[in-house]
Amino acid sequence: MYSCGDLKKGLKLMIDGEPHVIVSFDFTKPGKGQALYKCKLRNMITGSLFDRTYRSGESFEPASLEDRDMQFLYKDESGYVFMDSKSYEQVTLPEETLGDDKYFLKDNMEVDILMFNDRGIGVTLPNFVNLRVTQSDPWVKGDTAAGNNKPATVESGYTLAVPSFVEEGDLIQIDTRTGQYATRVKE
Amino acid sequence: MEINWALARKMEKLAKRARIVQAIRAFFVANDFLEVETPHRIPGNAPELHIDAVPSAGWFLHTSPELCMKRLLAAGFPKIFQICRCWREGERGSRHLPEYTMLEWYRAGADYRQLMVDCEELLAALAPERNLLWQNRRIDLTPPWPRLSVAEAFARFAGVTAEVALAADRFDEIVALEIEPRLGWEKPVILFDYPAPLAALARRKAENPAVAERFELYIGGLELANAFSELTDPREQRERFAAEEAARRAAGKAPYPVPEPFLQELGHMPEAAGIALGVDRLAMLLTGSTTIDEVTAFTSEDL
């Protein structure tokens, strides 16, 4: 069982017999009062989102989900198709289930597919993916302040903030867990 | 390895934060407050059911410098302030850090009404333009700020009385989820007069002993400060500590020793008022930051 102290973004819980994932989480505590744990939860089967606030002392059942090693094959009208590397069984995930992860999928990428009762309900990507910058404005000369950002778009169409020295054509590493720039890749 | 860009990006806000802390210090020095330093590691804190201290080699890190600062008041120091780190176990959120910076100030011969005025003047010194921009809202800081009693706030926003909420163990969640988010968007709001059981170190109101002279300051839905007219009766203080400590132990929390030196000296403490203000949150407001991480160089996750 989980306690309130375990709650965090990404944690998966069983609520009313269905797996839910915490999509955003905040701890709050009024004045000298009790701790409150504010969660936005997504039902991993229906996709519905709702808010719930828990108080210290409550406990939670972990979601019983199975992770299976799969490979990304292709995308078609039905969604994103993955194949179990051992059994060759195929699983399709709809676009909404992937969210921003769809921008980080590459052909033949090895991923974990989350299964609940033989149904694919989520994907866990490798922590880092390398993608090439296809569009970014040049670095303004004289702009030397450390930490300055500019927007950049990568080959999959995803746009993120990068340090100002990153140029078009550069290969960059993105943290798939946060969607943020990690580092420039030397080629 | 590239330089730490996430940290480099904080340079501008950390520079503003440093100026805020310097301006706080200048404000209190100019108003004849003496800056003091008290130990961060102490035998035990004032017992409070919902505040957990970090153990430290048999003692605890302080959750507030209040006990030592009141001993200074009792020894005759009339106006004192401190800016220090405090630790509260398990408190981590977009507005909470388990290690954070607290400003506390105490005035002998005053009650909580004087501290309300201090807050208005402190903000005037920190934001001479008399307003701030936070969450896309322009908040007017011109004094006087509205004062709203807890009873009025419950009537207006909660649909139940504070007493009913307290009896149903729902007081805190109503304040946090229904009241706090609505306070302080036009001007800062002072929420005052809390039910007496919620103010373990505050004096009860003479004309209505059901409430204690405690207030909290809210700006833009953010709880910024907590203040008391201090309880100076050592006997009542000892009883309240015993009740709170019993509740802590019943909840399985680490026991604190009775703060004997504090209780012994409290009898000498003049009528006084004291307040604790979160410096990180003040920096959030004055730099337009949505999370406490933006105004802190290193959170525990960064270490």
Residues in CB range of B276: below 8 A, 6 or more apart = B64, B66, B102, B103, B104, B225, B226, B227
**Mutation choice for A interface testing from B1, B3, B7, B9 by most A CBs within 10 A:** B9
Task: Return d(Cα B124, Cα B185) in angstroms, integer.
Answer: 17
Percent pLDDT > 90 in chain B is 95
What is the residue-averaged pLDDT of chain B?
96
Query: Are B212 and B205 a contacting pair, CB within 8 Å?
Result: yes
3.40.50.2300, 2.30.30.30, 3.30.450.70, 3.50.50.60: CATH of A2-62: 2.30.30.30
Q: How confident is the model over A153-160, as a mean pLDDT? A: 95
Q: How confident is the model over B60-86, as a mean pLDDT? A: 98
pLDDT of A142: 60
On the question of a common fold for A2-62 and A66-124, the answer reads no
Percent pLDDT > 70 in chain B is 100
3.60.20.10, 3.40.50.300, 3.40.50.620, 3.30.930.10: CATH of B5-302: 3.30.930.10
What global pTM score does this model have? Answer: 0.84
DSSP tag of A169 = T
Nearest of B241, B29, B208 to residue B122 by alpha carbon = B29
Alpha helices in chain B (DSSP H): 5-8, 11-30, 66-74, 112-126, 150-157, 162-167, 171-174, 234-250, 260-266, 279-287
Nearest of A177, A183, A36, A167 to residue A104 by alpha carbon = A177
Contact A27/B176, CB-based, under 8 Å? Answer: no
pLDDT of B144: 97
ipTM of the complex in this document:
0.87
A79 in contact with B, Cβ within 8 Å: no
Partner residue opposite B176 with nearest CB, options A28, A163, A184: A28
pLDDT band at B80 (very low <50, low <70, confident <90, very high): very high
Residues of B in contact with A149 (CB under 8 A): 9
Residues of A in contact with B96 (CB under 8 A): 27-29
Asked if pLDDT for residue B1 goes beyond 90, the answer is no
pLDDT of A85: 86
Q: How confident is the model over B50-65, as a mean pLDDT? A: 96
CA distances to A142, A167, B294, B297 from A145, rounded to whole Å, are: 9, 17, 18, 18
Nearest of B274, B273, B272, B275 to residue B223 by alpha carbon = B275
Nearest CA in chain A to B89: A5
**Mutation choice for A interface testing from B5, B48, B102, B169 by most A CBs within 10 A:** B5
From the CA of B258, how many Å to the nearest CA of chain A?
A: 20
A30 in contact with B, Cβ within 8 Å: yes
- Token readout for B81 is 């302030």
Asked if pLDDT for residue A26 goes beyond 70, the answer is yes
B238 CB-contact burial (10 Å; exposed 0-12 / middle 13-18 / buried 19+): middle
pLDDT 10s digits, B107-119: 999 999 999 999 9
Nearest CA in chain B to A163: B5
Q: How confident is the model over B36-60, as a mean pLDDT? A: 96
A29 in contact with B, Cβ within 8 Å: yes
Query: Token pair 């970014």 is at which residue?
Result: A136
CA distances to A49, B73, B83 from B267, rounded to whole Å, are: 56, 11, 26
Task: Return d(Cα A124, Cα B245) in angstroms, integer.
Answer: 46
pLDDT of A147: 62
**Mutation choice for B interface testing from A4, A32, A174, A181 by most B CBs within 10 A:** A32
pLDDT of A21: 92
From the CA of A49, how many Å to the nearest CA of chain B?
A: 19
* Between B215 and A186, residue with greater pLDDT: B215
Q: How confident is the model over B126-140, as a mean pLDDT? A: 95
Contact A163/B5, CB-based, under 8 Å? Answer: yes
From the CA of A177, how many Å to the nearest CA of chain B?
A: 15
pLDDT band at A56 (very low <50, low <70, confident <90, very high): confident
Asked if pLDDT for residue B76 goes beyond 80, the answer is yes
Task: Please give the CATH superfamily to which domain A66-124 belongs.
Answer: Nucleic acid-binding proteins (2.40.50.140)
Contact A30/B175, CB-based, under 8 Å? Answer: yes
Nearest of B100, B32, B39, B99 to residue B66 by alpha carbon = B39
- Token readout for A31 is 């004045």
How many residues are listed for chain B in this entry? 303
Query: Are B80 and B70 a contacting pair, CB within 8 Å?
Result: no
**Mutation choice for B interface testing from A22, A26, A28 by most B CBs within 10 A:** A28
Q: Does domain A128-184 have CATH number 2.40.50.140?
A: yes
- Token readout for A17 is 């017999």
Q: SS3 for B43-90, per residue? A: CCCCCCCCCCCCEECCEEECCCCHHHHHHHHHCCCCEEEEEEEEECCC
Query: Token pair 């509740």 is at which residue?
Result: B247
pLDDT band at A143 (very low <50, low <70, confident <90, very high): low
Ramachandran sector of residue B79 (left: φ over 0; alpha: ψ -120 to 50; beta: rest): beta
pLDDT band at A144 (very low <50, low <70, confident <90, very high): low
> What residues does each domain of chain A span?
2-62, 66-124, 128-184
Q: How confident is the model over B182-192, as a mean pLDDT? A: 97
Tell me how crowded residue B61 is: count the other CB atoms within 10 A of its CB.
20
- Average the pLDDT over each of A161-165, B144-148, B265-269 and give the range with the smallest value: A161-165
pLDDT band at B201 (very low <50, low <70, confident <90, very high): confident
How many residues are listed for chain A in this entry? 187
Contact A32/B50, CB-based, under 8 Å? Answer: yes
A142 in contact with B, Cβ within 8 Å: no
Asked if pLDDT for residue A175 goes beyond 90, the answer is yes
Asked if pLDDT for residue A145 goes beyond 60, the answer is no
Secondary structure of residue B220 in the 3-state scheme: coil
From the CA of A166, how many Å to the nearest CA of chain B?
A: 12
